[in-house]
Amino acid sequence: MPDLTLCECFARDGLQHETEFVPTAQKVALIDRFARAGFARVEATSYSNPQVVPQFADASDVLGALPRVDGVYYKGTCANLRAVERALDDLEAGIGANEVSLLISASEAHSQRNLKQSRADQWKRIEAMAAAAQGRFRLIGTISVAFGCPFEGVVDETSVLADVERFASLGVHHVTLGDTIGVATQAGTQRLFGAMLNAFPDVDAIAHFHDTRGTGIVNYLAALEAGVRHFDVAFGGVGGHPAKVKYGGGVTGNVCTEDFVNVLETMGVATGIDLAAMMDASLVCEATLGRTLASRVARTGLNPMLARASTHTRVA
């Protein structure tokens, strides 16, 4: 059994950054490839307004054509009540996602800029969305800029923990802390996740960090040491923000799937990922976008010592 759960985000968080539309059939093939490679969670699409993020104008078409692997959660990102209603419509049609996300910004300024809503109004939205979901999806609460805001700077950790508590009160038992602009430190990562896991033992903590300053894997290992067992990754380190919304110098990519899995496996941490299938998927992701992506492992190959290892040391 894997020691942790990795969510592959290429098809959603990765592609939202792309201005050239990826054909529906290619998206479907990629998502299915990820699931069959061993990713227990896959971000499949987003119920975004096509005028804002045109990449996901085919959300329902993708889900309708997508084969399903038993035990895999396919996530549809939802920004508002209308998005949840669309997810429910697809579910009724037998093609829906089995997981949806609900998004809050940890700072007022980021909420206004990114969601066009105050935090208070966004919480009202989330309450309505959670109620509308009727317990038919696994709900993922996401707290953006939990480790620092591009507009306000330092974010109060007690406020982040209050947001976790509020999600839990709505029946949301998987909550993501997002390092949206790549400013988290090892100490801060361990402190905040440690406090979250201690205060809310019934909530599964998810780490979603951006590798803006090359610290993504370092901070993920700090989160792992703090007790986090759920991590978001993306092939080639793609994604980070919609193409029309840029901050952090435009360098906001996710933690590279290939590189993080390589590190974990060399540590003896079982990821549940088929490494050969992962490397094949890495090539397909680069071919899909038509350029070399950020993964070091895609260039150098997996650590050759992995071929000599026959056992894993389980994480406590």
- When the pLDDT of each residue in the chain is averaged and rounded to a whole number, the result is 93
Amino acid symbol at 58: D
Residue 121 domain flag: yes
Residue from 1, 58, 53 nearest 31 by CA:
58
Residue 155 domain flag: yes
- Per the structure, the count of domains in the chain is 1
pLDDT band at 305 (very low <50, low <70, confident <90, very high): confident
SS3 23: coil
Q: Residue 8, CB half-sphere, CA atoms under 13 Å: how many?
A: 31
Position 311 pLDDT exceeds 80: no
Q: Across residues 168-181, what is the average pLDDT?
A: 96
Domain of 270 in residue numbering reads as 5-308
Position 312 pLDDT exceeds 60: no
DSSP state, residue 13: I
Residue from 44, 73, 55, 62 nearest 16 by CA:
55
Q: Quick check: 11 and 39 in contact, CB under 8 A?
A: no
Residue from 67, 50, 70, 66 nearest 58 by CA:
50
pLDDT band at 247 (very low <50, low <70, confident <90, very high): very low
Position 269 pLDDT exceeds 80: yes
Stretch (H or E) spanning 43: strand 41-46
Residue 316 domain flag: no
pLDDT of res. 306: 85
Q: pTM score, two decimals? A: 0.94
How far is Cα 154 from Cα 145, in angstroms, rounded to an integer? 9
% of the chain at pLDDT higher than 90: 86
Q: Across residues 166-192, what is the average pLDDT?
A: 97
pLDDT of res. 239: 87
Residue 313 domain flag: no
Q: Across residues 122-130, what is the average pLDDT?
A: 96
Residue 314 domain flag: no
pLDDT of res. 301: 95
Residue 147 domain flag: yes
Stretch (H or E) spanning 232: strand 230-233
Residue 260 domain flag: yes
Annotate 90-123 with DSSP letters as a single string. HHHTT---SEEEEEEESSHHHIIIIISS-HHHHH
Position 310 pLDDT exceeds 50: no
How far is Cα 42 from Cα 49, in angstroms, rounded to an integer? 21
Query: What are the structure tokens assigned to 165, written together?
Result: 């508590």
- Cα torsion at 223, 147, 255, 266 (round to 10°)? -20
Q: Quick check: 192 and 177 in contact, CB under 8 A?
A: yes
pLDDT of res. 115: 87
How far is Cα 167 from Cα 161, in angstroms, rounded to an integer? 10
pLDDT band at 274 (very low <50, low <70, confident <90, very high): very high
How far is Cα 151 from Cα 114, in angstroms, rounded to an integer? 11
- Residue 116's CATH number: 3.20.20.70
Position 263 pLDDT exceeds 90: yes
SS3 130: helix
Quickly list H helices, the chain: 24-36, 59-65, 81-92, 108-110, 119-133, 157-169, 186-199, 216-226, 257-267, 275-289, 297-300
